[in-house]
Amino acid sequence: MKYIFPLLIIAIFTVSCSGEKKNSVESVIENGNLETIRVKRGELVAEQQAINDKIKRLDEKIQTLDTVKHVPLITSFKAKTEVFNHVLELQGNVTTKDLLTITPEYNGILTQVFVKEGQKVSKGQTLAKIDDGGLSQQLAQLKIQAELAKTTYERQQRLWEQNIGSEIQFLQSKSTYESQEEAVNQLQQQIAKTTVKAPFSGTIDDIITEQGSVVAAGQSPLMRIVNLDNMYIETEVPERYVSDVTKGKHVSVNIPVLGKTLETKIRQAGDFINPANRTFKVEVGIPNADKTIKPNLSARLKINDYTSESAILIPQSVVSENSEGEQYVYVVVERNNNNIGTAKRIIIETGKTQDDIIEVLKGLEDGAEIIKEGARSVRDGQSVEVLQIEE
């Protein structure tokens, strides 16, 4: 009797295992009966649904009991409206209209140079003298002849006023006198060309031709004169900015060699578009009271081409783009006292960029809390914990 119970248990286990093996997935597939396979699949789907329901109930209970939720840690900042001054960055060269290499107006020998390098001169001051080749002697003779013609004309005029003499004699004397005066004036103008004068006030930067050299009119450079008071920067601006870069716009000028930054304005914007490179010229005046800025120095310009008085600016790093080309950011909504909130995706429309910031035209309002650090790792509707709110 004592052996019957163990034998019964072994028999039941054997039958059970035999039944399970007979009803296993492998046996059903091996059997090849379509109806049996479908029934088996239905049983497994029902079992899977039951298991999923149990897992969901367990997750809900865990959410209720777990006081320390494993949510993404992020930082955020508040959107606020501010003034946005967008700038166009260009390169330019310093120059001046008062920079000139002086050439003679008369052929001859440079007999005298009255100035030296570095000397300050005034407009109209005599700088050098060229030999006139005997024109002064000719002028003296012409003046004597002009005096004689004048005396003759004055006498004929008095006689004519007394009705003495003929009209033709009076007119001839008048013509002779006027011709002599004109000849004297013309020769004086020629002689004046032998004197080299300063065209404007400035400094003699270089003496090019030495005293005693033979010079040719309009060809031989004598000296260079420069005035550092009227300095400006000339640059070329792409044509698409023709309506934004205009006279009076603010410009920040940086001259790297001098380590100097100046604030100034556009004093002239060109009206001509160069067809070769589709640009127009702009002149930017620069103050130079200490005379440290020299012609041909390179300069970096930041020209204000756009201003918004109430712009929302955000870092470009927080902006993402979806498959449809729409730009979006994540904001924190419904944040509680424990700094736990929900990430919400917001589609935005952006404008101009400046360095690492971008202007938001639509989608965000003043005061919106935007996710910064961690923006790339959150999902729409996900709970997040705000570690820090940046000002």
pLDDT digits (tens, 9 = 90+) for 79-129: 999 999 999 999 999 999 889 999 999 999 999 999 999 999 999 999 999
Tokens of 272: 């001509």
229 vs 201: CA distance, rounded Å: 10
Grade residue 173 by pLDDT with cuts at 50, 70 and 90: confident
Residue among 385, 347, 331 at smallest CA distance from 78: 331
Q: Would you list the DSSP string of 269-294?
A: E-S--BTTTTEEEEEEEE--TTS---
Tokens 């400046």 locate to 354
Q: Is residue 14 over pLDDT 60?
A: no
Per-residue pLDDT of 233-255, as tens digits, reads 999 999 999 999 999 999 999 99
Q: State the sign of the Cα–Cα–Cα–Cα dihedral 342, 346, 352, 356.
A: positive
Q: Is residue 31 over pLDDT 90?
A: no
Q: Which residues contact 212 (CB under 8 A, 6 or more apart)?
A: 109, 110, 111
195 vs 227: CA distance, rounded Å: 21
- CA-to-CA separations, 28 to 16, 38, 104, 200, 293, in angstroms, rounded: 17, 10, 115, 110, 95
Delineate the domains of the chain, giving CATH numbers in brackets: 4-63 (no CATH), 73-83+309-390 (2.40.420.20), 89-97+226-307 (2.40.30.170), 106-224 (2.40.50.100)
99 vs 225: CA distance, rounded Å: 6
Q: Is residue 189 over pLDDT 70?
A: yes
Amino acid 64: pLDDT: 66
3 vs 256: CA distance, rounded Å: 106
Residue among 321, 374, 317 at smallest CA distance from 349: 321
Q: Residue 305 in 3-state DSSP?
A: strand
Phi, psi of 110 (to 5 degrees): -75, 100
**Cα atoms in the Cβ-side hemisphere of radius 13 Å centred on 374:** 23
CA angle 150, 156, 161 (to 5 degrees): 125
Amino acid 7: pLDDT: 43
Helices (H), the chain: 4-22, 25-31, 34-65, 135-161, 167-192
